[in-house]
Amino acid sequence: MSKERPDIPAYPQSGVASTCRSYDEYLTMFDLTEARLREGPVLDAAGGASSFTAELCARGLDARAADPFYAGEREEVIAAAAREIGVSSAKLEANLTHYDWSYYGSPTRHRALREASLAKFAAHFRADAGEDRYAAAGLPRLPYADGTFSLALCSHFLFLYADQFGLDFHAEALRELLRVVRPGGEVRIYPLVSLRWEPYPHLPELLASILPLAEARETAGKLPFVPVASPMLTLTRR
């Protein structure tokens, strides 16, 4: 686990932002191949306005996303995600040198990727009314039967908002994600640092508490960007 960097200012955020990382960002940060994604249904928990679910469905895969954010009127959800691109881009511009731009290339390309991802999400989300691929649901309660998924992902929610969600929430959320994956299935979570860029301090006790349910493994993060490199966590359900 990387060391905390108290010299780097925290990312300024009140509440939880609804961002829209792209399919390629998901493949990179979760170290995924399309073959792995084809092994069974995939859940994007805290999916926000990411195009990940849309892109999986476009490839004929069975994918779903859950986020309390989807509860709003659809056009307002999309508009809120578009506003967040502007807000987050301005925050990044204000502290450019703290970030590692080797993956994105530049702030302009970072923003363009987000806009392209949002456009794909928006088209799929608008068309989804009958299919219910997007569940307005928040951890630690998900509206799926036990063992529904082969893979559940959680990008930039758990551990990142450690200031707003306590240890009990995180423990319940991990148990819930494990409940909805089948035995042998996986939960992958990234990153494991907070918006203060501190490694999640309770991770060892949290992983110890779910040991009867899952084997845990940390691997090096593959998406350089935030000021402190973070591993990815994989939980394999027993």
Ligand X SMILES: C[S@@+](CC[C@H](N)C(=O)[O-])C[C@H]1O[C@@H](n2cnc3c(N)ncnc32)[C@H](O)[C@@H]1O
* Residues contributing to the site for ligand X (CB under 6 A): 16-21, 45-48, 50, 67-69, 138-139, 155-157
Nearest to 40 by CA among 63, 24, 57: 63
Question: Minimum CB separation from ligand X for residue 154, in Å?
Answer: 7
**Min CB(141)–ligand X separation in Å:** 9
Nearer to ligand X (CB atom), residue 114 or residue 237: 114
* Token output for 161: 């908002």
Q: Which is nearer to ligand X, 159 or 198 (CB)?
A: 159
**For residues 49 and 18, is the Cβ–Cβ distance under 8 A?**
yes
Q: What is the rounded CA–CA span in Å between residue 168 and residue 217?
A: 21
- Least distance to ligand X, CB of residue 128, Å: 16
Closer residue to ligand X in complex, CB, 143/183: 143
Least distance to ligand X, CB of residue 47, Å: 5
Separation CA 83–CA 131 (nearest Å): 26
Question: What are the Cα distances from residue 223, in Å, to 29, 67, 212?
Answer: 5, 23, 30
Q: Which is nearer to ligand X, 2 or 18 (CB)?
A: 18
